[in-house]
Amino acid sequence: MRDQRRELINGLLNLAIFLETHPDVPAPAGVTLHHFPDHEADEDMRAEVDQIAARIGSPIEFEDSPYGHYATSVHFGPVEYRAVAILAAAQARHDAVNSYRDSIQHDET
pLDDT at 94: 54
pLDDT at 65: 65
For the cut 80, the answer to whether the pLDDT of residue 83 exceeds it is: yes
Q: Which CATH code is given to the segment(s) 29-98?
A: 3.30.720
Confidence of residue 51 (pLDDT cuts 50, 70, 90): very high
Q: Burial-class residue 70 by CB neighbours within 10 Å (0-12, 13-18, 19+).
A: buried
pLDDT at 31: 96
Q: How far is CA 82 from the centre of its chain?
A: 5
What is the rounded distance in angstroms from the CA atom of residue 34 to the CA atom of residue 82? 5
For the cut 90, the answer to whether the pLDDT of residue 107 exceeds it is: no
Could you report how far apart the first and last alpha carbons of the chain are, in Å? 52
Largest CA distance in the chain: 56
For the cut 70, the answer to whether the pLDDT of residue 7 exceeds it is: yes
- The larger pLDDT score, comparing residue 46 to residue 69, is at 46
pTM of the model: 0.78
For the cut 60, the answer to whether the pLDDT of residue 14 exceeds it is: yes
Confidence of residue 99 (pLDDT cuts 50, 70, 90): low
- The larger pLDDT score, comparing residue 67 to residue 10, is at 10
